[in-house]
Amino acid sequence: MKHKSTIVWLQGLTCNGNSHSFLNYPQMPSFASSFEMIYHPLICGAQSFSTVLESNEHFDFLIIEGALSHDERLLQRFGIPFYEILDNFAKRAKHIICAGSCASFGGIFRLRDPEKITGALFSGKEKGGYWLEKSNVVNIPGCPLHPRWLVETLFALRDRDTLLLDEFLRPKEVFAYLAHHGCLRNEYFEWKVDSKQLGEKEGCLFYEHGCQGPMSHANCNKILWNGVSSKTRAGSPCLGCTEFDFPRRALFETQKNMSLPQTPFGISKRAYYTVAGVAKSFKIERLEKKLIDENH
């Protein structure tokens, strides 16, 4: 039998959301037959925290959840300054995985003190977070991350030599997609039909309700959450939780410039507005009506 890869999970400033999201992984027995959780703060692991801290043993994966800081008044664990624990663990880990937007970019908690609270290698968009440089870090942002993103990355690193990453060190298999892909409202987006009001299946949330789907890298609308749904499927806008600037201000509003919304990722403004104008001029009856109409 192949030796199981070992994992140590460490929490910085966090809401524990990534840990709980991970517990939603549907094929947990399969995961557990390949990985050994040596230590996790919430789940009974094979060893206690102090045993792991005192040993010199190496392990395969260090998973970090939560924003980081060198300031011990802001962040300590078990009465020990956090940097002591993290530096000790980081030296012994083959791969370091930042689970969630906080560990990747600083996330929501960075907002309180952006000088001192950061992600592992990034502070928001800027390079240089808790560490200036490190070659074995993979970022899996998301607030929280999807359990499949984490588990599939762990398997990839364990079984393959290469894992393609984008400029923010995010695995391309997940983050080459946009949250917009797989959204059931896509046709409304194409023909510029906005959702008149919330609470309805019809219409796109891009024009009035702040949807960040076309600007947010993630395959959540492809693989879905909890196996069944997603924010946009439940009628609420994508908040852009996988991007370095999460959370933006006014998350439920579309920021407009001369009454025009932001342009989707990778399109020139001019071209977009021209095409949008043309699309809007079509009136497609089917898209103006209720999706399920009792009278017809």
Partner 1 sequence: MKITKEIIERIEGEATLELEWDNEQVTFAKIKFFNYRGIEEILKKRPLLDALALTPRVCGICSHSHAIASVLAIESIFENQGESLHVSQKANDIREIALNAEKIHNHIKWYFFSILPELKRVADPTYHGNAYKEKQWFQAQNAIMESLKMGAHFTGQWPHGSFVMAGGVTCDPLQSDVVSAIGCLDSVISFCEEHFYGMPLEEFLSFDSALQVMSVPSALSYGIDEMLKQGFDRLGRSYDRFLALGKSYMYEGSLKASKTAVLGADVKYVQESLEHTFFEDKHKGYTYSKSAQYKKSYCEVGPLARLMVAKEPLMRDFHRRFKDAALTRVVARAVECAHLIARTKQLLSKLNLKEPSFYPPKKDIHSLSGEGVGIIEAPRGTLIHQVDVRNGVIELYNIITPTVWNLGNGNRENPSTAQKAIIGLNSFTKADFILKSFDVCSVCTTQ
Token readout for 256 is: 């407009």
Q: Which stretch binds partner 1 (CB under 8 A): 104-112, 155-163, 170-178, 182-190?
A: 104-112
Q: Which residue, among 248, 242, 246, has the nearest Cα to 230 in the 3D structure?
A: 242
Q: Is 218 in the site for ligand SF4 (CB under 6 A)?
A: yes
Element housing 157 (H / E) = helix 147-159
* Amino acid found at 92: R
Q: Is 179 in the site for partner 1 (CB under 8 A)?
A: no
Q: How far apart are CA 107 and CA 20, in angstroms?
A: 17
Q: Is 203 in the site for partner 1 (CB under 8 A)?
A: no
Q: Which does 180 bind (CB under 5 to 8 A by kind): ligand SF4, partner 1, none?
A: ligand SF4
Q: Is the Cβ of residue 237 or residue 276 nearer to partner 1 in the bound state? A: 237
Residues 6+ positions from 65 with CB-CB distance below 8 Å: 9, 10, 11, 12, 14, 16, 18, 19, 99, 100, 102, 103
How many residues touch partner 1 (CB under 8 A)?
Answer: 65
Q: Is 276 in the site for ligand SF4 (CB under 6 A)?
A: no
Site for ligand SF4 in 127-146 (CB under 6 A): 142
Q: Is the Cβ of residue 92 or residue 181 nearer to ligand SF4 in the bound state? A: 181
Token readout for 141 is: 């942002």
Q: Is 238 in the site for ligand SF4 (CB under 6 A)?
A: yes
Site of tokens 């998973």: 63
Q: Which stretch binds partner 1 (CB under 8 A): 14-22, 162-170, 178-186, 273-281?
A: 14-22
Q: Is the Cβ of residue 66 or residue 144 nearer to ligand SF4 in the bound state? A: 144
Q: Is 239 in the site for ligand SF4 (CB under 6 A)?
A: yes
Q: Is the Cβ of residue 163 or residue 223 nearer to ligand SF4 in the bound state? A: 223
Q: Which residue, among 232, 207, 245, has the nearest Cα to 114 in the 3D structure?
A: 245
Q: How far apart are CA 188 and CA 195, in angstroms?
A: 8
Burial level of 248, CB count in 10 A (0-12/13-18/19+)? Answer: middle
Residue 98 labeled ligand binder: no
**Known binding residues:** 15, 102, 143, 180, 183, 204, 211, 220, 238, 241
- List residues binding ligand SF4 (CB under 6 A): 142, 179-180, 183, 185-186, 189, 204-206, 211, 213-214, 216, 218, 220, 230-232, 238-242
